[in-house]
Structure 1
Amino acid sequence: MSIGGVGIGSAIAIYFIIWWLVLFAVLPWGVRSQHETGEVTPGSDPGAPVVPHLKRKLIATTVVAAICFVTFLLVRNSGLTLDMFPGPKAHRTT
């Protein structure tokens, strides 16, 4: 069984890696620190977010990761290769 020509185990692993990379890109979206808002809770770090909005960020991460994964599958199955792009080519000896 495969997803877009990629084995199911590999597809899950690739999606998982994409999801984690996207999560770290999404985490800073819309964060306002306690220091920025002037509402520092005693005993906490002033750089801690006031409201982290984690549920929204997890949903956004899942959607963006799914779009990236589908794009990956489309490019993989399109027949594009790095040799089609301009730039230095690898020297191959046959």
Structure 2
Amino acid sequence: MQWTSILAIYFLFWVLSAFLMLPFGMRTHDEAGIDKIPGQADSAPADFRPGRVILRATILAAVLCGLFVANYVNGWITVQDIDFIGTPESFGEGG
């Protein structure tokens, strides 16, 4: 696998991880006991820390990308392992 492919896969895992990490650790103003500004959404976070989200996403993406590359190199899970339907040729055999 080329390093550019690994970089692209890491980027995809990072974006996925960033969206997964966004809600963790967030508290609304009501949960934190802070007064809201008039017109503010009830679901707005009280203290958003993007650095923490970026750090968590980076660590999770590194682990997931590492597992993906290790699986690619070692062949632990292949397409045949997750093919639950079968090939198009085998559809007509069951009758």
| TM-score using structure 2 length | 0.77
Give the CA RMSD over aligned residues: 2.1
The alpha carbon displacement at 1:13 in A equals 1.2
Deviation at 1:34, TM superposition (A): 1.7
Gaps spanning 5+ residues in structure 2: where? 91-95
Deviations 1:40-92 (A, max 9, x none): 12343221101112211211110110000000001111223121357322235
Count of equivalent residues: 88
Structure with the greater alpha carbon radius of gyration: 2
- Percent of counterpart pairs with the same letter? 28
Does residue 25 (structure 1) correspond to residue 17 (structure 2)? The answer is: no
The TM-score with structure 1 as length reference comes to 0.78
1:88 aligned onto 2:93 = no
* Ranges in structure 1 where 5+ consecutive residues have no aligned partner: 1-5
